[in-house]
Amino acid sequence: MAIDPVTLQVLANHAQAAAEAMAFTLFRTAHSTFVKETEDFTSGLTTPEGMTFASPRDLGATWFIGLDYGNAIRMIQDYRPGDVCITNDPYSGYVCTHTPDLHIWKPIFWGDEIVAFAVGHIHNTDVGGAVPASLSRQLTEVHQEGIRIPPSKIYEEGRLNKTLLDVMLTNVRMPEQNWGDFKAQLASVATGERKVHEMIRRFGVDTFRQGIQDLLDLGDRRARAVLGKIPDGDYHFVDYLDEDGPGGVPVRLELTLRIRGEECVLDFTGSDPQLHSSLNVPTGGAERHILLMVGYTYSLYTIDETIPLNGGITRPARCIIPEGSVLNPKFPAAVGMRSLTCGRLQSLIIGAFQAAMPQAMPAGPGSSAGIMNVKTIDAKTGRRIMASINPMTGGAGGSSFGDGADGSGANSSFLKNTPVEVNEAEVPIRFRRYGLVPDSGGAGKARGGLATELEFQLFSPNSVVTARNRDRTRFSTWGAMGGDPGATSSFWRNPDSNHAEDLGNTDVVNLDPGDIIRIKAAGGAGWGPAWERDPALVMRDVSEGKVSVAAAARDYGVVVRDGALDAAASESARAQLAAAAASRAPAHFRFNPARDAYEREWTDASYAALAAVLAMLPVHWRHFVKRRIFDRVAAMPAAERRADGGHVRAIFAEAIASFPELRHIRPAAE
Amino acid sequence: MAYRVGVDIGGTFADFCALDEATGAVRTLKVLSTPAEPGREVMQGIAELQRRFGIAPSDIGYFTHGTTVGINAVIQRKGVKLCMFATENFVDVLELARLKMPDPYHLLSRRPEPLVTRDRVFGIRERMLADGSVDLPLDHASLRDALDRARAVGAEGIVLSFLHAYRNPAHEKEAARLIGEWAPGLPVFPSSSVWPIIREYERTSTAVVHGYVQPRVAAYIASLQASLRKAGVTTEPMITKSNGGVMTAELGKTQCIQMLLSGTAAGTMGAAFVARHAKVPRVLALDVGGTSADVSVIVDGQPSYRSGEMVGEFPIYIPTVSVTSIGAGGGSIAAVDAFGTLAVGPESAGSTPGPACYGRGGMRPTLTDAFVVCGFMGHSELGYSAVTVDRAKAEAAMAPIAAALGRDLQSAAEAVIQVAISGMYREVSKLAAHQGVDLREFSLLAFGGGGPMTACLLARELGMASVLVPTTPGVLSALGGLVADVKNDFILTVYAPLSVETLPQLREGFGRLAREAEAWLRDRQGHRGTPRLAASADLRYHGQSFEIETSIDLAWIDTGDVARIAEAFHREHERIYGHADREARVDAVALRMIVIGESAKPALPTQDRRAGPAAADAWIDVLLDGQPRRVALHRRADLVHGMTFDGPCVIAQDDTTTIVPDGYAGSVDAFGNLHLTRGS
């Protein structure tokens, strides 16, 4: 029996206040600068079953609406008042998704009964393992990614489990910092417990118990109403990571979004097998795993921003993810850098929703293009300095509502930069440029947002620049409804010199004194045909230096002479652009030439063939065989490739024949 | 020369507070504000003071004024056309801001369009480094070229935003001088003179907001000065500041960034003044107006300060009395969506058309209408006869809510009140968690038209034991201006480790700030009293990205006691964040100096004590906590020192209504303030 809707609304405000108070408490008392700078933490309240019903909106990471703690909660038997549990193991119930995230949950009792859990996580800067900060693309097994704590009680009835704590702190590089941040987590869940007790005194335990379920039900109903507005159909979309590891081949992410009435299925079949790098996304194949639902949540909220942000909104959705794929890797695949894949996964889902709701959803987002860190030596003091200097961000995609945000936005909206002045005061480097990249936004009736660019110089030998999460130097953002793709990202050492080096998606660069680094993020994509853009808006972009005179003529057919619009010349130029487009095959999405070329080499049919043959292999063979097939296809003259993917099957047959361990596999005859 | 007069202009009303210096008696007045003709309401009010209370303009010996001209110019984007000259290759400081979007869950979220668009930003060849040394001298040709282009687009002012100008302002100064020579009369706003802090976006945003409104505000002040003189007010008007102080109007013409948030600051200062008199040490001040509620924390009579407050959509970083604005006010509109969810606000009927019950064209149900339907309001003239309450109109507006909720009118209205109060609860508890204060130790000081109406209901939710209602809740901002001191802030960015080696630098810096501060008070303010100086430093642990302003005793600087300074910081860190690291290196980012010239504080008159229970003026029917009740109606004027009363009751006065639920005991202190205390 649902509680009265007015009481529910009052209860919703109290629950929200509790989650926000938990977040502020954690943020205020955390020790590490990392937490304060990146806000990579969350806090919240779950039902006794573990579904989050209240999350903060003002502070913290945006990925964790509807995180289900159920699996981790159930791994502990016999909760007592005063217990506090933790885990940072990505393979213990898939609540935690990489080792730096230390998750905490505390049962909240009322009498003998658990009425809720106070939960949350902090991304620790380091949890030990093969590399400082515990994260590297090169790692291949989760064992290299630091210490792993399976779901365990760190406090039993209020008594600290000193042994567990010592084990934990012995295995990390900055134990004081982790301990300091952990105390902030403890303060946060204690605040949550106090707030829930206040709520129960205010509303009564029956109303509380029912009310938190009603909040989820309301989220569920609201999400169904949004899905109900979307026409029934299968919406297919594919997006790629540039490479599956240093110097690797692309990673294909594939989604068929099936909208049926007020429910939907996100079928990720066709996505690549799990990788021999740490880009895997650990989901356990759960139907509504949190990392699979981020793009879904963003999309629903963008279509209707009045929906409540709680776990209930994920209920009408169900995911299908083949086991052993990059989105459902098997233990012990490394998963540390899953955030790079998650960024693309979000744009994949945004793309499928864009196909379904082209007027409500934007074109492709530039997303993050790397978190820049510098390690160098201060010439004056001789001190080693390690500093995070800036996240690189691309623009948002255009939409029927207008241009994409310049410089950031869409799924990188949560990132903050560091002022140039602060960086220069603290790190012995010199900034040469920080700003927007003209012409980087995809042309469109609504222009894609411009990317950002950063250029700086280092002065000390043995300096190292790391750029975590590099991507989009090959495949750029996708235009929608006739809009153009955005510009690709780029990363150069000593650009414009006779010893320039294209760093591509490299994420660790060793540098010499005087070297200059230039990095550009990817531009957001355009929405709608560029020649339909109001010439006055193109003129504004030109006068603001966001679009060059040349690009205005080339992409928009807007001819500028002596700073003024040449209306007659523009009219004919726009007519020509429209005619040229009419002669092309109609397509909802537009990709950059590199992707079009790649998809001529690797067609949907070839990929289907690949997926079919790899599915016959044991999981630990798939990536290996896939790379072998890729090498062979790349070496093959284009004429020998077959549109139906037959050449893939042929190569596969040869491959299994050459490995005795695989000889028992019998591919179907051609 | 016997009266001090404070005037504060809000969205609906201009509030006047006149204090008789001989007796301490306070007279209050409200006239409708005239946003289309700023200043006219001031003149109307001065005429009205004479008509009603016999206060002649020539009797006014001290006049303070808070205006919204500046903030309105930003919100309505009606400032001047600015151009900005920025260091070459760093021209996107406004476009990028700090990257983060207002709503990070929304794929279409965008930052507001900058006040200076990119076509009016020009790169200048010059480069200063972080240590203040010159990397590339100011290139005069590029400056000249930028100026020509700025004039071609009709620039009415130039903001200078050069990197590291906080450390060495030489290039900004040189550029300002050259522009002055080449284009006499064109206002120039160097970021280093508006507010010289490190962090280019924060410094530039402050300078841009300042430049954007400065010509408008200066013109307004000049016309106000002229009007006052014409009306016969001979004293030089004082302008209230965002830092809770005042400055002369003449100075205000050039330092208008200082006054943009003075309205909310003055309210808090008024509340602090009342709290000191009422001897309530810890106060949460709640000012509920038509569209929003402003909340601030006052401890031992002192508000807290903060920088980074929003002026419309843009942050400014000058020291400001910390006030958090919540989107809930008397005009907040109630609506039920298709899912049966009742929401109150953030949409507001504002002052025009206002709540339906005011009969000024508002048709949609508001929080105020809900209080009317429940029977609490309409028993007194409101807003000094400026508006009357029409219960039938409130009920008509509430009818659709009742239908959607399937409740009767009064029960629907009560639902509106409950949801609105719970929304305020959510925002106030966030504020408390943010500042790390335990509200159970605080009293709620309620003012503004809607404050006393909601106070007890909100305090109850927050677990606060007592509520304080001042005698003149409608004009506390005007009172706050009246009792404010002359005050100014100074800052010097040093960015140095805190150590014995850097002590001479700190000593020199504080010395410079003190000289500047004293000169300001003496020369620019013409203040003849003894200046009071308060020094502080923005300190942080090495590697942290945020600073804590820590009070410094200048004697520690004189004696070279670095350890005392560091210890003061450790303690402050511990107080705010719950931990400190006494081994870690401490960095000083900036030094600050506040100069205060005290103004004579009026002594509020005390009332004769007339102990005993208050008698009801009438009995009214209300719906309170789900029950139809017949409760006592008291007239505020009848409640004097020593009287007691119990909830449930309603107290009516001409600028607000106080609702006292069951379980509250009320008493009146010597100044006439109501103390409402909840039994345990």
Give tens-digit pLDDT for A288-347.
Answer: 999 999 999 999 999 999 999 999 999 999 999 999 999 999 999 999 999 999 999 999
Looking at residue A245, what is its pLDDT?
87
* Under 8 Å between Cβ of A208 and A119: no
Cross-chain residue pair A302–B104, CB shorter than 8 Å: no
Q: Are strands A41-46 and B664-668 parallel, antiparallel or unpaired?
A: unpaired
> Which residues in chain B (299-358) have CB-CB distances under 8 A to chain A?
337-343
**B246-248/B238-240 β-pairing:** antiparallel
Residue A407: which of B96, B103, B135 has the nearest Cβ? B96
Q: Is B622 on the interface with A (CB under 8 A)?
A: no
Long-range contacts, stretch A579-583, CB < 8 angstroms, 24+ apart: A581/A482, A581/A529, A581/A531
Average pLDDT, whole number, for chain B? 93
Q: Convert the pLDDT of each residue in B433-483 to its tens digit.
A: 888 889 999 999 999 989 999 999 999 999 999 999 999 898 899 999 999
Nearest to A477 by CA among A497, A450, A495: A450
Interchain proximity A361–B98, CB inside 8 Å: no
Judged by CB atoms closer than 8 Å, whether chains meet at B422 and A434 is answered as no
Span B392-427, pLDDT tens digits: 999 999 999 999 999 999 999 999 999 999 999 999
Q: What 3-state class would DSSP assign to A45?
A: strand
User: How many whole angstroms separate alpha carbon B387 and alpha carbon B366?
Assistant: 16
B609-630 as b/e: b if 16+ CB within 10 A: eeeeebebbeebebbbeeeebe
Distance from C-alpha of A179 to C-alpha of B58, rounded to nearest angstrom: 68
Number of neighbours of residue B578 by Cβ within 10 angstroms: 17
Please give the single-letter amino acid code of residue A329: P
Binary contact (B434, A24; C-beta < 8 A): yes
Q: Distance between CA A450 and CA A438 in Å, rounded?
A: 7
Which residues sit opposite A388 in a β-bridge? A373
Asked if residue A418 lies in contact with residue A464, where contact means CB atoms within 8 angstroms, the answer is: no
Residue indicated by tokens 């008789």: B20
B519-527 long-range Cβ contacts below 8 angstroms, 24+ apart: B520/B488, B520/B490, B520/B595, B521/B486, B521/B488, B521/B595, B521/B597, B524/B248, B524/B251, B525/B247, B525/B248, B525/B251, B525/B486, B525/B597, B526/B248, B527/B486, B527/B597
A262 touches chain B (CB under 8 A): no
Indicate which of A8, A11, A13 best probes the interface with B, i.e. most B CBs within 10 Å of its own CB.
A13
Cβ distance of B107 and A297 shorter than 8 Å: no
Answer yes or no: do A365 and B432 touch at CB < 8 A.
no
- In one letter, which amino acid is A265? V
Estimate to the nearest angstrom the gap between the alpha carbon of B359 and the chain centroid. 30
C-beta neighbour count of A661 within 10 angstroms? 10
Say what the pLDDT of residue B581 is. Answer: 87
The residues facing A275 across adjacent strands are none
Give me the percent of chain B exceeding a pLDDT of 70. 99
pLDDT digits (tens, 9 = 90+) for A380-432: 888 888 888 889 999 999 999 999 999 999 999 999 999 999 999 989 999 99
Distant-in-sequence, close-in-space partners of A42: CB < 8 Å, separation ≥ 6: A23, A55, A56, A60, A61, A64, A67, A120, A121
Tell me whether residues A5 and B163 touch, CB distance under 8 A: no
The band of B69, judged by pLDDT with boundaries at 50, 70 and 90, is confident
Residue to mutate among A4, A10, A359, with most B CBs inside 10 A, is: A10
CA contacts within 13 A on the Cβ side of B543: 13
A104-140 pLDDT, tens digit each:
999 999 999 999 999 999 999 899 999 888 999 989 9
- B546 pLDDT band, cuts 50/70/90, is confident
Q: Name chain A contacts of B342, Cβ cutoff 8 Å.
A: 5-6, 9
Total-model pTM: 0.94
Q: Whole-angstrom Cα distance, residue B633 to residue B153?
A: 63
Residue range A81-91: mean pLDDT, rounded: 97
Query: Which residue from A31, A410, A424 is facing B107, i.e. has the nearest CB?
Result: A410
Overall average pLDDT of the B638-646 stretch: 96
- Structure token pair of residue A587: 């397509």
Q: How high is the pLDDT of residue B579?
A: 82
Q: What was the pLDDT predicted at B381? A: 56
Smallest CA-to-CA distance from B478 within B61, B5, B38, B3 is with B5
pLDDT higher than 60, residue B385: no
ipTM: 0.96
Per residue, what are the HEC states of B605-669?
A: CCCCCCCEECCCCEEEEEEECCEEEEEEEEEHHHCCCCEEEECCEEEEECCEEEEECCCEEEEEC
* Interface contact flag, A31 B118, Cβ < 8 Å: no
| CB distance A288 to A67 below 8 Å | no
pLDDT over threshold 70, residue A668: no
Closest approach of A71 to chain B, Cα-based (Å) = 26
Tens digits of per-residue pLDDT, B182-205?
A: 999 999 999 999 999 999 999 999
Q: How far is CA A455 from CA A387, A431, B29, in A?
A: 16, 6, 60
Burial B336-373 (b: 16+ CB within 10 A, else e): beeebbbbbbebbbbbebbbbbbbeebebbbbbbbbbb
Give burial (CB, 10 Å; 0-12/13-18/19+) of B193. Answer: middle
| Percentage of residues of chain A with pLDDT beyond 90 | 84
Q: Which of B107, B425, B494, B499 to mutate to test the interface with A (most CBs of A within 10 A)?
A: B107
Q: Is the pLDDT of residue A670 over 70?
A: no
Mean pLDDT of all residues belonging to chain A: 94
Residue carrying structure tokens 């990028």: B96
Give pLDDT, residue B383.
Answer: 47
Q: Could you report the per-residue pLDDT of A252-291, keeping only the tens digit for each? A: 999 999 999 999 999 999 999 999 999 999 999 999 999 9
DSSP A375-401: EEE-TTT--EEEEEEEEEEPPPPPBTT
First to last CA, chain A: 60
Q: How far apart are CA A122 and CA A104, in angstroms?
A: 9
Report yes or no: B286 and B270 within 8 Å, Cβ to Cβ.
no
Please report the pLDDT score of residue A370 as a whole number.
86
pLDDT at B592: 96
A376-382 LR contacts (CB < 8 Å, sep 24+): A376/A427, A376/A428, A376/A429, A376/A458, A376/A459, A376/A460, A376/A462, A376/A463, A376/A464, A377/A428, A377/A460, A377/A461, A377/A462, A377/A463, A378/A428, A378/A460, A379/A428, A379/A459, A379/A460, A380/A428
- Per the model's pLDDT, the better-predicted residue between B582 and A358 turns out to be A358
Domain map of chain A by residue range? 5-215, 368-586, 602-662
User: B-chain residues within 8 Å CB-CB of A366?
Assistant: none
Q: Does any CB of chain B come closer than 8 Å to the CB of residue A414?
A: yes
Q: A28 and B96 in contact by Cβ < 8 A?
A: no
